[in-house]
Structure 1
């Protein structure tokens, strides 16, 4: 199939120089795959900002269209997994990394990367959530699977003003948990309480005393989006049989920790990986986001832009200046 569509294209005209322009591309230039999708919405993630500025840890081959999230309507599917007109979500895997992604009005991907939009969610709502929402929901799922109940005590969310953190706060509150949001941006206390946090604490309050082998047990569970010292402190201050999920490394990728919380309190540390999450598991969690965890506060948590508004938001994200998730409108 041939046809023109608009996309953000990142080029590398010379070594260590990357340019970003909105151009008209042809469907025939898209990579191989069974599924062709007309993208209605995407979202901006930190990984997208890195890809757009040439970070080799994300994308090495240019020209390239970033966007690890996409939601839209099936144009064609050569293996019959989907029918034309089906509404689908495509996130993670290699989308937006080395495979042209959701910052284009069309994507072509393996059909196994897509799932049908669950009843109860619109395409727009699905991308208000995106990979960040999926990661947050997977974290909450792991707490539930680990037997952490709302009556067991407060749940700590670190990096609470970030994309994953803020959505974790909202989902946990929707699920009935008492949430303590830890942040370095206390100016956002009102916002965090509006989306569901019962308490908001400065991050230094969480890490104070983390040099000790063990800390006072406070948290029934933790959703950690930071890593490093924050994760160490969270583990050391989790109650017996509590569950700590880990999905971030902005603080550090290192974990300077002894085994005492694990062997004396039975604390469980679970890594959350949304990129290669099995489709059965992924579908179950998206269904929960459309039903029991559906958020009423989504509109207040996002800012919507078109392709032409992405450059400003990419630069702002890299400087840590964004206060809300960025929803990208393709049409």
Structure 2
């Protein structure tokens, strides 16, 4: 049976373009489980894949979409049967394997997790890779010893998908969440999600640099990297922890050993792509219990498949706040 997909192609000159096409099942990649995709998300990586930036896609034609949710239609694996609701995030799906910008996806069963009780497939993509990553960061910080009574937790890139959800989850869990953003027009929305205070990024970076600065934060979730991460490391309290999850501000890190050897802080790397199954399920079930869909609704917008190329440019330019959902099914 034919299905619609947003197919990304590269011509002989190297130009990358995407268009909605009608395909048949023979075009699907290998995999033991076929999913009728209902909703997908738009993430920074998707913007890279749809524009050809970053070299993430090596083989064309390609179908992007690093996360999606839908219903199993066929399965050769005993873990899933027709009618099961499932979520997929990570595993380089949408990069090296065709992803969720298609009415059908064929994947390995190891890449899927069951939709938690109480969630719909649209709910799952409101959360998406962004929410999963935020929760993985919080859980890693908690395993390192962070508690609400430890002190404020700084979230950088707070207006984006991961950052805004991290603010909400931290607040729901009783933490004092401080939002750092270069887009102060979103301050009211972040306060509505539970941010205790808002810091403007340029003002944060403009303060004179010292080898160590006043210890302000018990922990941090950093989406930015670059200068922002280097700066915040100097402001973490003794025995504090920073979860590094993104590089929107650059992959370079300028720092010294002093925050680590004089204050005993830890820099924790968070990867959601290859996260083991049990950790994914645990994080999804915890998010499902505390996520405030009503409170987050104003930070959600929906697009159709044919609107994705334009939306990809917006997310790469830093003009998207919250979550962008893709109505696929």
TM-score w.r.t. the length of structure 1 is 0.96
CA distance in 2, matches of 1:55, 1:111: 29
What do residues 47-75 of structure 1 show as CA deviations (whole Å, max 9, x unaligned)?
A: 11111112352101111110000100011
Pair 1:91 & 2:89 matched: yes
Distance verdict in 2 for CA 1:141–1:293, change over 3 Å: farther
Structure 2 residue ranges without an equivalent (≥5): none
CA distance in 2, matches of 1:148, 1:293: 20
- Equivalent position of 1:27 in the other structure: 25
- Equivalent position of 2:307 in the other structure: 309
- Equivalent position of 1:194 in the other structure: 192
Identify which range, 148-157 or 105-114, moves more after superposition.
Answer: 148-157
CA distance in 1, matches of 2:265, 2:70: 41
CA distance in 1, matches of 2:126, 2:296: 7
Aligned length: 329
| Structure 1 position 30, deviation (Å) | 0.8
| Structure 1 position 262, deviation (Å) | 1.0
Match of 1:265 among 263, 272, 275: 263
Match of 1:123 among 121, 124, 129: 121
Identify which range, 203-212 or 316-325, moves more after superposition.
Answer: 203-212
CA distance in 1, matches of 2:198, 2:292: 23
| Structure 1 position 315, deviation (Å) | 2.2
Distance verdict in 2 for CA 1:56–1:146, change over 3 Å: closer
Q: Tell me which of the two structures has the higher relative contact order, counting C-alpha pairs closer than 8 angstroms and 6 or more residues apart.
A: 2
Match of 1:234 among 216, 225, 232: 232
| Structure 1 position 324, deviation (Å) | 3.3
CA distance in 2, matches of 1:296, 1:179: 19
Identify which range, 53-62 or 238-247, moves more after superposition.
Answer: 53-62
Structure 1 residue ranges without an equivalent (≥5): none
Contact 1:174 1:295 in 2 (8 A): no
> Does the residue aligned with 2:246 lie in a helix, a strand or coil?
coil
CA distance in 2, matches of 1:109, 1:76: 11
- Equivalent position of 1:169 in the other structure: 167
RMSD: 1.4
Regions of 4+ moved over 6 Å = none
| Structure 1 position 323, deviation (Å) | 2.8
CA distance in 2, matches of 1:19, 1:143: 40
CA distance in 1, matches of 2:267, 2:207: 20
| Structure 1 position 293, deviation (Å) | 4.5
TM-score w.r.t. the length of structure 2 is 0.96
Identify which range, 58-67 or 142-151, moves more after superposition.
Answer: 142-151
Distance verdict in 2 for CA 1:56–1:220, change over 3 Å: closer
- Equivalent position of 1:8 in the other structure: 6
